Amino acid sequence: MEITIPEGITGQEALTVTEELSAPHCGSGLVPVLATPAMIALMEKTCLRSVQPHLPEGYGTVGTLVHVTHEHATAMGRRVSCTSKLVEIDRRRLVFEVEAQDEAGIIGRGRHERFIIENTKFLARANGR
């Protein structure tokens, strides 16, 4: 099936730093600030949601590569937003530039790759491993 997604699509998502998103809760640190895995999950979610409306029924995307920096800590209760931009399309491979920021400025940035998959086939392969 031919899938056409326009390059340059942007996305935006946000969250508030809670206990569940903190480094101690995620097991990635001891200080109660936004965990790096939580920031990365926000970046993935932003990319996922930006392209999903352009995919046919039964298709989705899965994350395959994350190359980001986490440059500044964000305290509990602060708001974090993420923006994404689709910068490259190579058949089923999608490459995004991502950036996360809080009220004080940029906290993380980098690139994220996702692959377009047919959900049922992907799940069948995963269950067969």
* Catalytic residue (choose from 13, 46, 61, 70): 70
* Catalytic residue (choose from 44, 61, 83, 112): 44
The beta-strand segments (E) located in 1-129 are 10-16, 59-70, 79-90, 93-102, 105-118
44 given a catalytic annotation: yes
Please check whether residue 23 is in contact with residue 34, taking contact to mean a CB–CB distance below 8 angstroms. Answer: yes
Give the integer Cα–Cα distance in Å for 53 and 44: 15
Is 63 annotated as a binding-site member? yes
70 given a catalytic annotation: yes
54 given a catalytic annotation: no
Is 58 annotated as a binding-site member? no
Q: At residue 99, what are phi and psi to the nearest 5 degrees?
A: -150, 130
Q: At residue 52, what are phi and psi to the nearest 5 degrees?
A: -55, -40
* Catalytic residue (choose from 36, 54, 72, 99): 36
Binding-site residue ranges? 63, 114
Binding-site positions for CoA: 63
User: Mind telling me the catalytic residues?
Assistant: 36, 44, 70
Residues making up the annotated binding site for substrate are 63, 114
